[in-house]
Amino acid sequence: MINRLCAVVEDYPKPGITFRDLTPVFADGPALRAIVDSLIEPFAGGFDAVAGIEARGFLLAAAAAYSAGVGVITVRKPNKLPRRAYTEHYALEYGSSSLQMHMDDLTPGSRVLVLDDVLATGGTLAATTRLFASAGVRLAGIGVVLELNGLRGRSALAGHRVRSLARV
């Protein structure tokens, strides 16, 4: 279902890159339900909240949190949050970036399931795991819809339980 519905866009965002667009998968109601159920099933009962990474991770996290009856946490790009926030910096191929989370969204000791659309190099997800660690929050696991095997992102998440629904 994921491979059938996923749009493959060549040379985006730059020549030589094959972009896998999951928005058609999310637009299909039965597919979205199946994805959310499959992402949270192995972690059932093991998390107090679901976190989504900006931006497509928000879609998955909100649906998963609703389905599981828990709260949703947003992991945002810099300068998007109005209250005091934890910040985690990380390296990109040509520069750096950071992610933020409100300091009072979760209490220390809480358990969070992190969801995102794609696991590529693992930099964003690894930064997210460090962000929650700095907040004293325990990581229940990481769920992604699509994992790009050639970029070896899973190695950046060593020690964490990772669930991916499709690999290319």
- Return the closest-CA partner of residue 47 out of 138, 124, 126: 138
Q: Which of 20, 56, 111, 163 is catalytic?
A: 56
Burial grade of 30 (CB within 10 A; 0-12, 13-18, 19 or more): exposed
HSE, side-chain direction, 13 A CA sphere, residue 88 = 22
Is 93 one of the annotated active-site residues of the chain?
Answer: yes
**H or E segment to which residue 113 belongs:** strand 111-119
Is-catalytic flag, 4? no
Helix axes 29-40, 56-68, angle to 10 degrees: 70
Residues 4, 33, 93, 111: which is the catalytic one? 93
Catalytic residue ranges = 56, 93
